[in-house]
């Protein structure tokens, strides 16, 4: 088993519609002793009193609030798809935080200046909205046919895509944090040729990886992603 710096924690920031359970299979492949911090936005369960965050900036605020409670010494931020934008916004606020961000790992996401949700019909009827996001990956059939699942899951999914669609890039100084960018070789939403443009967002060490699979390649590439994250912990 590969040794890693157990003083560092990995913060898992999910994709649109994702929850803290999304990366359990990936986390199970990491070395024993790796501290995983799951981000689960407010309003994700029926009956939740707090409203869901409605912008990427609000999501970043929730991540920071969660980290203040967790009190890690050092963190690796791992953001997937929409979560990559959230992770970037968190990293931009590094100077105001009491912990160190030792690496930013972004996956399945174009960099901010190229990011777009063009084609996602976030304001349309439920079935039309689901059809428009099917390009990201397979939409589970139960979201079309199961009323309880639709009531439980669709509001959060739609809310997250609304936040993504309103994200607006504004030029800011480069980070000095090491940055790793990962793409799926068959991902049409975030192709490798564009994902690698994250390089310009940090003056620190940059790594890039292109793994087999479409947008949700994390489901089939757990071993390779585990290696990349353990490398980040060891750096």
In a domain, 168, yes or no: no
| 74-80: strand order across its sheet | 35-38, 8-13, 74-80, 100-107, 179-184, 206-211
pLDDT of residue 17: 86
In a domain, 163, yes or no: no
In a domain, 73, yes or no: yes
Query: Cβ(110)–Cβ(197) under 8 Å?
Result: yes
Mean pLDDT (the chain) is: 90
In a domain, 137, yes or no: no
Cα separation, 163 vs 89, in Å, equals 13
Rg (CA), the chain: 17
Q: What is the dihedral of CA 7, 172, 133, 145, to 10 degrees?
A: 50
pLDDT of residue 138: 66
Q: How confident is the model at residue 49 (pLDDT cuts 50, 70, 90)?
A: low
Q: What is the CATH number of the domain that holds 62?
A: 3.40.50.1820
Number of H helices, E strands in the chain: 8, 6
In a domain, 129, yes or no: no
Domain that holds residue 58: 8-113+173-230
Report the pLDDT averaged over residues 20-37. 90
In a domain, 131, yes or no: no
State how many domains the chain has: 1
For 87-116, the DSSP string reads: HHHHHTTGGG-SSEEEEEEEES---TTT--
pLDDT of residue 2: 47
In a domain, 194, yes or no: yes
Percentage of the residues of the chain whose pLDDT score is greater than 70: 94
pLDDT of residue 119: 83
Asked whether residue 135 carries a pLDDT value surpassing 80, the answer given is no
Q: What is the dihedral of CA 222, 223, 227, 232, to 10 degrees?
A: 10
Q: Identify the residue with better confidence: 40 or 141.
A: 40
In a domain, 226, yes or no: yes
């Amino acid at each position: 088993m590969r040794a890693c710096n157990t003083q560092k924690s990995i913060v898992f920031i999910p994709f649109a519609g994702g929850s803290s359970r999304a990366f359990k299979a990936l986390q199970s492949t990491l070395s024993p002793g790796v501290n995983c911090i799951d981000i689960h936005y407010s309003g994700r369960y029926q009956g939740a009193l707090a409203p869901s965050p409605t912008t990427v900036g609000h999501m970043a605020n929730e991540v920071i609030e969660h980290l203040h409670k967790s009190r890690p010494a050092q963190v690796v931020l791992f953001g997937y798809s929409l979560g990559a934008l959230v992770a970037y916004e968190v990293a931009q606020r590094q100077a105001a935080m009491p912990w160190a961000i030792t690496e930013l790992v972004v996956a399945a996401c174009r960099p901010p200046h190229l990011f777009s949700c063009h084609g996602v019909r976030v304001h349309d009827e439920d079935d039309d909205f689901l059809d428009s996001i099917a390009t990201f990956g397979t939409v589970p059939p139960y979201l079309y046919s199961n009323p309880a699942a639709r009531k439980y899951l669709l509001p959060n999914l739609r809310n997250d895509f609304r936040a993504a669609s309103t994200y607006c890039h504004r030029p800011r100084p480069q980070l000095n944090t090491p940055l790793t960018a990962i793409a799926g070789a068959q991902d049409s939403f975030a192709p490798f040729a564009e994902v690698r443009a994250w390089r310009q967002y940090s003056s620190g060490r940059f790594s890039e990886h292109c793994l087999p699979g479409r947008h949700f390649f994390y489901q089939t590439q757990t071993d390779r992603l585990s290696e990349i994250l353990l490398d980040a912990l060891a750096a």
